């Protein structure tokens, strides 16, 4: 399989017949990476297929249950709770006795204290009970692509979660606070964050390797209610902190490769915001977010099958995740892009060779979507059975289904 350096040399050889000089090295690297991303979207490639599990998080009501609230204040104290240790996320629903209203956890300021998203509408009290409802939002696996489906075995058999849009969800009149075994999910939002800061916090970074002392990490997010950004330079394994107080982070990007793994923390180290992999990317690592309904009343694993978005190639020794069968297609597409800059005819010739190679790959390396039943014409069926057990012959017409009636 070609290393990144091999791909660069081969693309330059075919595109320019000349490997000398470094003037266009960066351009060639960029073309190879954009071609890699394009090629990864051309089919459901088996080499990018992954299966992982997502553990659900259910109701939280640790502590003695003595909750202190004050009229016209959003501050809440829960005696005996360990909110930071137990990794409670913000934006979870919370129900406190003394009010029929559901609130959301807005910030977590200490092990036993939090703030609500609105001021407390009930009476001042020191002996309320509480329940932090099960967690709604979860990260899909790192670099999960659009072709993803989810299922669990909580009913004793595989059950696929149905997808519903936010518009359909809210127009149906369903309560977000319902609890049970999840049957549906919504998807909204993509960012670089494993977990958001629990309150306005500086970002702190450190590497697992002493020699990472010059790379810069850039944060994009929200400060004091406005979009903002900040750059912090690594100081090896020692912690390096910014000065801006971020309430939300959207993207985190390294400016160059690192030898070690970079950990980003907030809230005086109590929250791991993100972990940037060793060396293999300068681009932002992205997580897709899902929201479950109903909220999980028990803790169990949800299975996630997906096609991964490949990492960007950075170092000369990097290898792409598609596999060696795709080297030729990657080279041909990259050369075609270069040729198009000078000649439409030459670009078309190389792109034609790429399409031929792509068709060959689709015959040998591509999955058929095995969770979406498709109607087939009679002469396409492998046997004399119905294409789908829930469809009768009379429902689909004479062009589909079994060829002969018995």
Half-sphere exposure of 278 (CA within 13 A, CB side): 6
Three-state DSSP state, 21:
coil
Residue entry with tokens 């990097």: 318
Integer Cα distance of 48 and 382 in angstroms? 28
What pLDDT sits at residue 406? Answer: 38
Three-state DSSP state, 247:
strand
Each domain of the chain, given as residue ranges in start order, spans 4-45+322-365, 50-56+137-192+289-308, 67-132, 204-285, 373-406
Residue entry with tokens 């299922």: 151
Contacts of 29 (CB under 8 A, 6+ apart): 4, 8, 313
> What does 28-72 look like in DSSP terms, one character per residue?
HHHHHHHHHHHHHTSS-BGGGEEEEEEE----B--S---EEE-TT
Closest CA to 262 of 237, 230, 229: 237
Q: Strand pairing of 162-163 and 184-191?
A: parallel
The tens digit of pLDDT for each residue in 76-121 reads 999 999 999 999 999 999 999 999 999 999 999 999 999 999 999 9
> In what helix (H) or strand (E) does residue 322 lie, and over which residues does it extend?
none
Closest CA to 131 of 105, 178, 102, 96: 96
The tens digit of pLDDT for each residue in 173-186 reads 889 999 999 999 99
What pLDDT sits at residue 387? Answer: 45
Is the peptide bond preceding residue 149 cis, with omega within 30 degrees of 0? no
* pLDDT by residue, tens only, the chain of 406 residues: 899 999 999 999 898 766 566 778 889 999 999 999 999 999 999 999 999 999 999 999 987 768 999 999 999 999 999 999 999 999 999 999 999 999 999 999 999 999 999 999 999 999 999 999 999 999 999 888 878 889 999 999 999 999 998 889 988 888 999 999 999 999 878 888 999 999 999 999 999 999 999 999 999 999 999 999 999 999 999 999 999 999 999 999 998 888 899 999 999 888 999 999 887 555 667 888 999 999 999 999 999 999 998 988 888 888 999 999 999 999 999 999 999 988 999 999 999 999 999 999 999 999 876 544 444 444 444 444 444 455 554 555 555 444 444 3
Reading across the β-sheet that carries 162-163, which strands appear in turn? 137-139, 287-293, 184-191, 162-163
What pLDDT sits at residue 281? Answer: 58
What pLDDT sits at residue 187? Answer: 83
Asked whether 9 and 327 are in contact (CB, 8 A), the reply is: no
What pLDDT sits at residue 60? Answer: 96
Cα angle for residues 33, 146, 249 (degrees, 5° grid): 75
Integer Cα distance of 39 and 328 in angstroms? 11
């Amino acid at each position: 399989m070609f290393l990144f350096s091999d791909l660069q040399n081969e693309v330059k050889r075919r595109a320019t017949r000349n490997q000398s000089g470094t003037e266009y090295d960066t351009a060639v690297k960029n073309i190879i990476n954009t071609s890699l991303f394009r090629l990864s979207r051309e089919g459901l490639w088996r080499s990018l297929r992954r299966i992982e599990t997502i553990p659900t998080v259910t109701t939280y009501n640790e502590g003695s249950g003595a909750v202190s609230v004050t009229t016209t204040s959003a501050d809440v104290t829960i005696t005996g709770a360990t909110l930071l240790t137990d990794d409670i996320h913000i934006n979870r629903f919370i129900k406190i006795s003394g009010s029929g209203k559901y609130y959301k956890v807005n910030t977590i300021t200490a092990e036993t204290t939090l703030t609500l998203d609105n001021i407390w509408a009930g009476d001042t009290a020191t002996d309320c009970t509480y329940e932090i409802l099960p967690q709604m939002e979860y990260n899909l696996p790192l670099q999960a692509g659009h072709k993803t489906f989810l299922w669990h075995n909580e009913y004793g058999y595989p059950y696929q979660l149905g997808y519903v849009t936010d518009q359909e969800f809210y127009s149906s009149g369903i309560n977000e606070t319902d609890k049970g075994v999840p049957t549906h999910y919504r998807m909204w939002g993509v960012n670089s964050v494993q977990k958001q800061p629990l309150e306005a916090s500086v970002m702190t970074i450190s590497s697992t390797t002493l020699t990472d002392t010059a790379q810069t990490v850039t944060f994009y997010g929200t400060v004091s209610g406005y979009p903002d950004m900040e750059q912090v330079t690594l100081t090896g394994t020692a912690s390096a902190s910014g000065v801006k107080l971020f309430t939300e982070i959207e993207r985190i990007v390294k400016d160059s490769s690192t030898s070690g793994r970079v950990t980003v923390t907030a809230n005086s180290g109590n929250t791991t915001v993100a972990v940037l992999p060793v060396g293999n990317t300068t681009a932002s690592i992205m997580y897709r977010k899902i929201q479950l309904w109903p909220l999980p009343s028990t803790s169990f694993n949800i299975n996630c099958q997906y096609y991964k978005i490949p990492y960007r190639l950075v170092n000369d020794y990097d290898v792409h995740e598609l596999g060696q069968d795709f080297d030729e297609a990657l080279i041909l597409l990259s050369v075609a892009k270069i040729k198009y800059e000078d000649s439409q005819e030459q670009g078309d010739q190389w792109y034609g060779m790429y399409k031929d190679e792509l068709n060959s790959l689709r015959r040998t390396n591509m999955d058929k979507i095995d969770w979406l039943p498709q109607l087939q014409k009679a002469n396409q069926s492998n046997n004399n059975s119905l294409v789908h057990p829930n469809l009768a012959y009379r429902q689909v017409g004479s062009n589909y289904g079994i060829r002969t009636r018995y």
